[in-house]
Amino acid sequence: MRGLDIRIMLAHERVSAIIDGRICGSVIDEYTLGSHLEAHRSGYADARRGRTEPPAMFRDEPILVSGWKAGVDAFEDEREMSACDGCNDGTGNPCHIHG
């Protein structure tokens, strides 16, 4: 099932937070950063494949949805910049819009 491994990672991070005596909510901290980054990677890969909806396993977890959406946005930004004449003028610098 798509996203299950990342959802499990988030659960492990939350258990670690409880064991260490920390409260772990929807705020990104050192306990949830791994699952957020993996959700970002998942969003990027999904956007590359043309998927427009986050995995069902993410839908009730704001931290995973936000990571996934950030990955989709990163893919879209990269695609836009790769088609931009100003960003691809041979200087190696982004244009004034993307820079």
Count of domains for the chain: 1
Q: Give the C-alpha separation, 38 to 97, whole Å.
A: 29
In this prediction, residue 14 carries a pLDDT of: 85
Whether residue 61 is predicted with pLDDT greater than 70 in this model: the reply is: yes
- Report if residue 87 sits inside a domain: no
**Contacts of 12 by beta carbon, 8 Å cutoff, 6+ apart:** none
pTM of the model: 0.83
Domain range for 54 is 4-82
- Report if residue 88 sits inside a domain: no
- Report if residue 95 sits inside a domain: no
- Report if residue 56 sits inside a domain: yes
In this prediction, residue 82 carries a pLDDT of: 83
21: left (phi over 0), alpha (psi -120 to 50) or beta: left
Q: What pLDDT digit, counting tens, does each position of 8-19 carry? A: 999 998 888 777
Q: Provide the strand spans (E) within 1-99.
A: none
Q: Give the C-alpha separation, 23 to 43, whole Å.
A: 27
- Report if residue 12 sits inside a domain: yes
Q: Give the C-alpha separation, 50 to 38, whole Å.
A: 18
